[in-house]
Structure 1
Amino acid sequence: MYRSIDLFAGIGGIRKGFEKAFGNEIKTVFVSEWDENAKKTYKANYKQDEFEIAGDITQIKEEEVPPFDICLAGFPCQAFSLAGKRMGFDDDYKGMCRGTLFQDVVRICDGHKPKVIFCENVKGLTIHDNGRTFKVIKRAFEQIGYIVYDQVLNSKDFGVPQNRERIYIVAFRNDIDSKDFRFPIGTCSDTCIRDIMERDVVSVKYYLSTAYMDTLRKHKERHKAKGNGFGYEIRDLFGQAGAIVCGGMGRERNLIIDNRLIDFTPVTHIKGEVNREGIRKMTPREWARLQGFPDEYKLILADTHLYKQFGNTVTVTVIEAIAKEIRRVLEHDTGK
């Protein structure tokens, strides 16, 4: 039985991928997440936990975390700003990473020395501050006794129709034979948006109003005149979605045409009327499917929260594929 901790847990996407890969051989023993709405979704889907979700990780001492073998950490990308005196990359992680949430991952793992550390972040992390930030991260893990592997993978290659590139970091403790570790190669890139659409006609509330469509078109035209490509986008049902994000144009960049609606009577207050072109937002369940979450995953909150949560979370199918490779190395190393 491998014991895992889930830091910056969000709604439990990384945990879900590892549980699918390890099955009954993994048990989560500690969870940390500060966002109250994310906690509600997490608790609804992981009711069997025998502990409360911890809050601010910066206030948690290493000794308050129970022993663990695997650290899962989707640390926030916006936390990065290289602090300290920037003395170069021979400086230790405490000097280079002060004030970042990443430091708390290193701090806790330094205290417990788990077999594996797994992290996920935005692709842009690799080039932040001309690549220095990413070097600091890898160097920090090396300094506390780990061999670090990293790879950019795209969700669309792992069975979901979403073009989403992310950086994945896997660090094995030095005494574990990890030389045969390889990141998985995606072999399932033929799924399309139609595959994840709701089977039944969705509520009229997801269909855009004529007034809002007019606003989106004018917005796009203004940016087009300036020579950039900002604005709404209607996706081909036989194609793939762009990366879903929690704010800004996240939903409007992934509109679809669904002509199954018959009753155009609004159920919310809108300007104008419901458009007759069949243009709608994807539903939260469709976003969950874009991220590889199974349909039994419970969505208990209002749509506004769910869009934010699924835009922020990870793609479960990618995590599962990487976790299977991690499990293979661990079982080979321990003789299982």
Structure 2
Amino acid sequence: MRAVVFEEFGRLAEVREVADPEPPPGGAVVRVAATGLCRSDWHAWQGHDDSVTLPHVPGHEFAGEVVAVGAGVRGVRAGARVTAPFVHACGRCAACARGDQQVCERQEQPGFTYWGSYADLVVVRRAEVNLVELPEGLPYTTAAALGCRFATAYRAVVAQGRVRPGEWVAVHGCGGLGLSAVMVAVAGGARVVAVDPSPEALWLAGSIGAAVCLAPEPTADATAAAVREVTGGGAHVSLDALGSAMTCAASVAGLRARGRHVQVGLLAAGAVEVPMGRVLALELELLGSHGMAAHAYPEMLRQVSAGVLRPDLLVRSEIGLPEAPGALAAMSDGSPTGMTVILPGGTGEGATG
């Protein structure tokens, strides 16, 4: 098969022929129809995740067709149209027994702990636990956005943020993850403040329902003050969907009393100054959000199929596998507006299945 491979962290990857994977016991092999270009893949390429070993194939949000299943797999058939969360859970540990597969104690992640989906084929371990069959007619390009950014945003807003109709929600960072959070919060009846330096990203946030669109101020405190002003005292829920010291601090400081901060964007190593005095005085909640378990997908997929949620509106670019190394490297200068989806079969192919 063809795959995007890098031999050194930060060095331009290349497309090359590698051996086709075999389905492991309990697992499956999926032919990749579409896979998202995600900032987490950039972090892997940069060497920010110590689970990555070289040489490596990135990619962790994908959709496609099952082409082979391993020994002992039940309920998964060749030919099924599927996606999967980026956390591949073991299904047996204490966290999984509680239904918290997104924080599985023995989790694996394609594109991080083993080779990922910037390829013609990708392995899904523990297929019965982690594969999600797609509704008929859902395009692969849309489904590829669900495995990481959209599903992560969905759980961050609905389960972790516990957003209620009429509440103010601030979203700091309007890349694919942040825009997904805007869309989910708006669908839940919230009033959303979108914060991003990019006029194009703010335009897209406004087009999907953000009530207020703000460019960040030079400091976290000033950005937080602007959010508090437009929300009449602060957001009820605020999400750092970028993952930086500035956006994290601004998110926490922009909350009203008893507000809820959800850290969704991956923070690189380094000091992050959180205003803990404000956390204490206002009884703020600080929460993390790490993907979503496969068993929680049906309600999200129901809303997508019904048109309540439109992740397809966030897909702004489709590229082929040969363009993927350059697109990944370009993220060093900032994330593209909306979502970019890689189609290993070539642009225009495999989008619907």
Structure with the higher helix share, 1 or 2:
1
Q: Sort the TM-score into its range (normalised by shorter chain).
A: 0.3 to 0.5
Please, what TM-score do these two structures have when normalized by structure 1? 0.34
Q: Of Structure 1 and Structure 2, which has the larger fraction of its residues in strand?
A: 2
